[in-house]
Chain A
């Protein structure tokens, strides 16, 4: 028993020695592998962001872009080196490399062109890069002229009548909007003509203006819900101005125009400040007379070659509230670089019944409101016999870019861009920073 007890104690001793060996082994293994990063690596200044901000600020005045395309003997390189040394803290060393981008057999290659350094970066460093374009290179966007695809010379007529007043264009005048339309759309047309008076509009309607090509033209009415009328036409239609709207519809059909109503209820008023000197629209705006609901109905009947029927109180619009651009229109916003708010408030959406009533096909801009699926907030309505109406049934204050976008979506002109990244026009600049000293 005593012998067995001694053996038992010896075995326990051996076991304990084993345990000690295991413990020590675990300790050494853990301390060998469980190595925390150095504090400078973990908590040092974020060198990548410092590098990026340095490159961006050096290029904020275009100096970096100008320098990296300079000859290697240029003093600009010395200035850049001084700027880097002056702007970075003394404990930060840098290495700036400039790579020329070239394309060989379809692959982009980076060739080191120039390098500036002020010391050994050491073990811990980080870098960022900036793609710089030569200041001598101009990138041109050349829009295709509307009608060029089919060989047509489509003229843009913008109503800029100095003797007309607008309505539903709060904050603007028809003339200021005409200028905006000119800036937005004239690059897309071979010929742009400003109609500077109602008399000129009268001549245009009779194909007697002598400027531009009347056939297939686009006519933009910048006066909102009011449409300019010449004194002669006002006399002709003094009994019922809605018949003038019918006449406009006929002309749009005959000349195959696209008539653009930039905002609100189309053809709700006629305007001529010299003719309607003592007539106002019910809201204190003189120089216009209300046609009310009959105007749009009469225009569409004229467009459809239907006879004029006389006055009606039937409204063909309703208020549908906030609507969103369709995905296609949003994509076109990017394509043409026109960015109105992606959602708008529609208070004058046209009933879809006009499509069947007047043989129209709608090119819509917005997703229809789920609560008003039978109303179209904004669209270009193409008549199958010729002519079209772009009606932007949104509330005021107008955003003229929506009307411009509607036309571009309808005609879909191509934008031709110069080739970006041509050899020798772009270089890649990298700035590698290292931190010296510290913990």
Chain B
């Protein structure tokens, strides 16, 4: 009797232990399944966001080129369709508030703050904040409703770096080396369409001489391009290349100024996308006064439209020259770009006969290979699961990759 009771107690104890083990195991299984389901929803949301961004132009479809109110978000180029993004819509993203965005710029003479979609060395796109769409608006238009966070990274596919090769012995010659790679691999046999914009002093306003040609990268992915009658250190110039191979295209640039200052003396601001008006400002009015004497800057702006075969074709613009002075009572100048063409506005300027420079405003981000990163300002750090989507797109015919990351805000 006692033995049977003990056996029974032992078996009940084992039963309880087995029940506990089973409950713990099933609990783990259920937790994994719930996690899986939640993460799957986030992954699906990333796909949805990417599809909306890349395959919808938004509403109105040409919102990037007009001043109309944005009713639906999308970046697809309405004229091209497919995986082609609108170069103008990307310029309207408020990237300066993003976690890796360039600082917002204030211009006292207009009393406006400008989003800074920066390239390098003063080149880039400065857009009034009022003309940009911020993260909150985009998130609402994408229907995320505070449930999901996302970030968007738009980067050129090809890495193109340009460097000066020292001329020995020094002489009136310029040698530039273009290195092309993609996914870390050097690209041999790529066609390099290059353009050199050489600033000359001119009688009153600076002049710009344009040289263009075609070259090819060697087995190490490099192309060396030489120019005669250009002083590698004493002259100001901008050098822009468009590199293509097998349907992939990239762009790169290199600028050399002789103004003796790491900051540009001229800053272009976009005033109105609908009309294509651009403000040309003295940099001291933006960045504050430098060391006296006050530089008087004479500029000459030229617009080059980017053709479908990646040639730069000059188009005349009005009010293309001006004399910029710093301080109150000295107004800024405006010019107007052709709204139907993407291209580059290259402003050549001079402080005196020996101190000159160039600054580039890409009218369409692809024309200068500008990257754009767009998020709420905090990124995805701290969230357990982040789903990532990747697509290949073109912007102005230049190959880009779009990466969208999405995460759940509900934990």
**CB within 8 Å of B: which residues of A?**
2, 5-7, 9-10, 12-13, 16-17, 19-20, 23-24, 26-27, 30-31, 34, 36-37, 39, 42-43, 45-46, 49-50, 53-54, 56-61, 63-64, 67, 75-76, 78-90
Contact = CB atoms under 8 A, between A and B. Distances in A.
B165 interface: no
Contacts of A43: 39-40, 43, 385, 387
Contacts, number: 160
Contact of B183 (A36, A78, A87): A87
B157 interface: yes
B54 interface: yes
B8 interface: yes
B7 interface: yes
A17 B11 contact: yes
B12 A16 contact: yes
B170 interface: no
B247 A83 contact: yes
Contacts of A83: 182, 245-248
A60 B14 contact: no
Nearest to A51: B392
A96 B40 CA distance: 29
Contacts of A30: 26, 29
A46 B389 contact: yes
Contact of B391 (A5, A34, A53, A63): A53
B83 A56 contact: yes
B17 to A, nearest CB: 9
B234 interface: no
A84 B29 contact: no
B33 A36 contact: yes
Nearest to B310: A61
B203 interface: no
Nearest to B42: A43
Q: Which of A5, A53, A56 has the most CB of B within 10 A?
A: A53
Contact of A24 (B5, B18, B390): B18
B83 A57 contact: yes
A49 B47 contact: yes
A9 B5 contact: yes
A50 B245 CA distance: 19
B22 A23 contact: yes
Contacts of B71: none
Interface string B108-132: 0000000000000000000000000
Contacts of B47: 46, 49
Nearest to B385: A43
A438 B19 CA distance: 36
13 contacts: A13-B4, A16-B8, A31-B29, A45-B388, A45-B390, A49-B389, A56-B392, A61-B249, A61-B308, A63-B246, A75-B189, A79-B246, A82-B189
* B: contact size bracket: 35 or more
Given A13-B7, A60-B247, A79-B245, 8 more contacts: A10-B8, A12-B8, A45-B389, A53-B54, A53-B392, A57-B393, A75-B189, A86-B157
Contacts of A10: 4, 7-8
Contact of A63 (B15, B181, B190, B247): B247
B245 A86 contact: yes
Contacts of A46: 47, 50, 389
B387 to A, nearest CB: 6
B12 A53 contact: no
Q: Which of A16, A24, A42, A86 has the most CB of B within 10 A?
A: A86
A49 B54 CA distance: 11
A16 B248 CA distance: 70
Contact of B246 (A23, A37, A76): A76
Contact of A42 (B4, B18, B36): B36
A12 to B, nearest CB: 5
Interface in B15-39: 15, 18-19, 21-22, 25-26, 29, 32-33, 36, 39
A39 B386 CA distance: 12
A58 B392 CA distance: 9
A82 to B, nearest CB: 6
Contact of B245 (A5, A12, A82, A88): A82
Nearest to B388: A45
Contact of B11 (A5, A16, A42, A85): A16
A41 to B, nearest CB: 11
A197 to B, nearest CB: 35
A52 to B, nearest CB: 8
B233 to A, nearest CB: 33
B149 to A, nearest CB: 16
A58 B388 contact: no
Interface stretch (B262-270, B295-303, B311-319, B394-402): B394-402
B25 A84 contact: no
Contacts of B39: 39, 42-43
B189 A78 contact: yes
Contacts of A87: 157, 182-183, 248, 392, 399, 401
